[in-house]
Structure 1
Amino acid sequence: MATPPPTERRQFLGRLSLPERTFITDALRTETVGGILLLVATVVALVWANAWPHAYETVLDWTIGPSSPLHLDLSLEAWAKDGALTIFFFVAGIELKREFVAGELRTPSAALLPVVAAVSGVALPAIVYAVANSGAGGHPGGWAIPTATDIAFALGVLAVVGSHLPSALRAFLLTLAVVDDLIAILIIAVFYSSGIKFWALGLSLAGLVLFWYLHRRGVHGWYLYVPLAFVIWALMHESGVHATVAGVAMGLLLRCHTVGDEKQSPGEHIEHLVRPLSAGLAVPVFALFAAGVTISGPALADVFTQATPLGIILGLLIGKTVGIFGGTWLAARFTRAELNPQLKWADVFAVSTLAGIGFTVSLLISELAFPEDAALADTAKTAVLVGSVLCALVATVLLKLRNLHYRQLCEEEDRDSDGDGIPDVYQQQGH
């Protein structure tokens, strides 16, 4: 009797298909530019807030918008936090939908590793923060602050210092960050929503149903969808549920698979149009109005001596790194997935450290966690900045070391001897 073939084990972080690799490259390029703009906006906010604090606070508090019928007379700071970030979460929703129907999350075996890594990378930072704030003087309400990964900064750093790392490793970071964003959205919706107005929430959900129906019926026209999206957002904001939830909900409703002779799904087309707006405008504008904290010797000393900011820094630097790396290793160890033999666990560790860069969503949660204590919120924001910088520096060193290892390998992989635009490795292996 012939011996049955061994059950195939899915190779973790293996070579991507050419379309998936192209998508990752395009996303990486956009997020790299967005990361640079985000960094510039952060520096401007810090200089502005420290050199001219009164002018900065005045601009933050400047109110614009109608007070009725939906109480949209918001400060510029609130418009940036609740409005601009909705565009960011809209793109995150499309990314998540695409990953489920066409990306790494479309099969349970492929989705297991990044999902476990993301969940572990959320749980352990929260635990680290909770332990640091368990004593007298601690503020356990900020447990969610160090749980988020900033995809723009993380991919930006990876693109700059890790140019020769395998593209699948970048795909892992992108997939991880997408799942991380979903968890962050759920945290915001469940733990940082209060005083729910069910009439407004019901109308917002009705608007989402209409949005879905029109989209599925093939109705086109930005002049129809943009006003509808604004009404959905305004009603969600009025309901007491954080307004960014409306953005991710609309992103998830878009169709992200092709039918018939379509070359690109509607979701991918809209993402291609909106992603530059998100990475190049919405997120930097949010950073401009959120990152302006006072930086001084005593303020930095407080970051390393007080429980709340110390818990944030340790959560980002240690909790994120150990959580993501440990979760990935355990999933690979106890499931049928295995690491590509061309890769080392040192690569995963470096990317895990990079995922500790928590900026955009961490700054948002800092404000939501301490709405009645502006000084503590500013301290938490300072800790987010310090922790993110430390993670970026450590990850840069680790990625540089790994980049040297893969330079020769990547040059061979990307060779296109016949000049047809398709790397030889895909032609040789029939990809």
Structure 2
Amino acid sequence: MTDTMTIPDTTGTDVFEDRESVVRSYCRNWPVVFDRASGAEQVTEDGDRYLDFFSGAGALNYGHNHPALKTALLDYLSEDRVVHSLDMFTVAKRDFLRAFEETVLRPRGLDYRVQLPGPTGTNAVETALKIARKATGRTDVVSFTNAFHGMTLGSLAVTGNSMKRAGAGTPLYHSSTAPYDDYLDGSTPDFAWLERVWADGGSGLALPAAVIVETVQGEGGLNAARPEWLRALADLCARFGVLLIVDDVQAGCGRTGRFFSFEEAGIVPDIVCLSKSLSGLGLPFSVTLLKPELDLWEPGEHNGTFRGFNPAFVTATAALREFWSDDTFAAQVRERGAQLRTGLEQISARVPGSAYRGRGLLAGLRFEDPTLAGRVATEAFDQHLLVETSGADSEVVKVMPPLTVTAAELQRGLDILDRSVRSVLAVAA
């Protein structure tokens, strides 16, 4: 008898369609199978090369498989070193904490306790919300229009996007929303409403535990807060005894030209959330930074099984030593950020109603017609450039190359984006 058993196809996308949840999203816009990656490029299993200006949604600030970070990881793993350790002491964790102090905290005059809450950005945010409530004895948290802070319930409660909030399937409590910088087009003085209701015992709104803010709203349309707006917010919080949390998960780790995105404003938040590119190589890793007087936990009061992922300590330490021992790399990022802004503004000048958004290498183009951004991103993919969209209506084309991108690579990406915009506009006309 002939054996008619079908041999499974080891290529293609059938297994994803058959077995993976329909919640998947990025692959719907980029329907290819990636296999290899280096620097600013990803390569499919068929050998097609794509310029990656998505950077793992900000988790790959140093590009794919940076040699210095990859070597550190491979050396560590080859020696049977500790991988999983919860919050036990390890050599890898000690090396990271020392490197973070020497390259990040001490040069900036910052004194933070480093809490390791779990592997993702939303873990860092949940930790910040919990400790703010514990420290103040208050429950509410103020966030801003178009904010995005994560997909777990506490983080969703301070997120603005209605579609993501609806996914909670339950009411989201103990938060209120204030207008972000320029949300009201300058028609109302900054923080006039917050100051009034916080000071008024008859407002019906309790004084919050904290305010949480992104200096650049990575998922909310690339709105960038002015330094003076951030300083006024920090001053307001200090006057009322409200803690200031900066969510630097996407805008931090150098994305805006300095390690922390709030440095330009000259403020010192009470709590800072970091993740995404903190590990340097795309490994899951997050921290919540707390002023020492806020480190009020009982041992084990907040924990997580994967809060001590040593391979991420190793690559994070290598990234800090490689890129942040002095200002050389940051200055290069600022140069590339200026190049990106110039290129995007040149494209914008040819598209009525469009505008530059963002800061540094977290930037993009907002279109008056919200359907254009998605079509431009699709056309860019067809020309082998990966960019995504941002904003409540996906009205912004978001350009987020690795911080290690060369001037030539960045120009190549801008040229593709320019051609894509021209192509979409020609069809629209």
Query: Fold-level match, TM-score > 0.5?
Result: no
Q: TM-score range by the shorter chain?
A: under 0.3
Considering Cα pairs closer than 8 Å and 6+ residues apart, tell me whether 1 or 2 has the greater RCO. Answer: 1
Q: Which has the higher helix share?
A: 1
TM-score by length of 2: 0.24
Q: Which has the higher strand share?
A: 2
TM-score by length of 1: 0.24
